[in-house]
């Protein structure tokens, strides 16, 4: 089975802190994604990556950055956390050939920014 | 921009009954992919079913089936013989091929024993 692991299920941070959310997949997938999930808004794409060191902005990249130094790991970075970034964050991965292929999700990280 | 609309924020169904979740999408593409994902409470989101637009036959996975109406841009999910474990958020998603998925806002399904 594909496994996508997010380092934390729950995280509480202070406004202004730099926050790292980590995601690791064990199936050698080329594509990785970070989403934000809010009630009534569904899933919104923050960033995605289709190869090591490659990244593309999604629909809501403002206030976030990402890093993909190794194929299996995709990190989401909140440079200076704000209260409006309190949310559930989901990581996903998918194999080639297409980034519209089936995605496999992690369990999510619920981030609270106080 | 492509959009995916799930018009039912919440639905409920009696155990063993059938329920249909609605999804419509907006696109000018002729070839694309459609998905239904399930997110159980506090658990990982998983794929329920996938449909390629060029296939006329509706996809089926055990108790889950879709009604794909390409001209109407409609992609509904039917769950037969509903079980307590079917209670979850269900998301409809669309992609034209080489761009990321676009998700709807979700439908929360409750199953009543």
Q: Does A107 touch chain B if contact means CB atoms closer than 8 Å?
A: yes
Distance CA B12, CA B25 (A): 23
Query: Alpha carbon of B112 to those of A99, B5, B11: distances in Å?
Result: 37, 25, 11
Cα–chain-centroid distance for residue B79? 10
Q: A96: pLDDT confidence band, cut at 50, 70 and 90?
A: confident
CB contact under 8 A, B100 and A99: yes
In degrees and rounded to multiples of 5, residue A85 shows phi and psi of -100, 5
Interface probe, candidates B1, B27, B32, B44, chain A, greatest A C-beta count within 10 A: B44
Q: B1: pLDDT confidence band, cut at 50, 70 and 90?
A: low
pLDDT at A9 over 70: yes
Distance CA B21, CA B57 (A): 19
Which residue, among A84, A83, A89, A43, has the nearest Cα to A66 in the 3D structure? A89
Q: Does B45 touch chain A if contact means CB atoms closer than 8 Å?
A: yes
Distance CA A96, CA B67 (A): 27
How many Å is the Cα radius of gyration of chain B?
A: 13
Predicted pLDDT at A65: 97
Q: Does B44 touch chain A if contact means CB atoms closer than 8 Å?
A: yes
Interface probe, candidates A103, A104, A107, A108, chain B, greatest B C-beta count within 10 A: A103
| Mean pLDDT of all residues belonging to chain A | 93
Predicted pLDDT at A91: 97
Q: What percent of chain A has pLDDT over 90?
A: 79
Coil vs helix vs strand at B95 = strand
pLDDT at B72 over 80: yes
Predicted pLDDT at B55: 87
List the single residue in A42, A58, A105 with the smallest CB-CB distance to B104.
A42
For the segment A59-69, the average pLDDT, to the nearest whole number, is 96
For the segment A59-77, the average pLDDT, to the nearest whole number, is 96
């Amino acid at each position: 089975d594909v496994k996508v692991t997010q380092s934390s299920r729950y995280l509480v941070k202070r406004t202004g802190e730099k926050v790292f959310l980590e995601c690791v997949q064990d199936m050698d997938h080329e594509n990785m994604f970070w989403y934000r999930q809010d009630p009534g808004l569904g899933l919104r794409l923050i960033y995605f990556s289709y190869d090591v060191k490659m990244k593309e902005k999604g629909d809501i990249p403002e206030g976030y950055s990402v890093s993909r130094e190794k194929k299996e790991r995709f990190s989401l970075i909140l440079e200076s956390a704000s209260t409006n970034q309190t949310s559930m964050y989901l990581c996903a991965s998918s194999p080639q050939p297409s980034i519209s292929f089936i995605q496999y999700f992690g369990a999510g990280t619920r981030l609270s920014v106080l | 921009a492509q959009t995916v609309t799930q018009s039912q924020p919440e639905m409920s169904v009696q155990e063993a009954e059938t329920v249909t979740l609605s999804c419509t999408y907006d696109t000018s593409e002729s070839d694309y992919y459609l998905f239904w994902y399930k997110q159980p409470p506090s658990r990982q989101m998983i794929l329920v079913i996938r449909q390629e637009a060029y296939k006329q036959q509706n996809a089926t996975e055990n108790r889950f089936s879709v009604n794909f109406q390409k001209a109407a841009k409609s992609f509904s999910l039917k769950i037969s013989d509903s079980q307590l474990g079917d209670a979850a958020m269900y998301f409809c998603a669309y992609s034209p091929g080489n761009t990321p998925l676009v998700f709807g806002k979700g439908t929360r399904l409750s199953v009543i024993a």
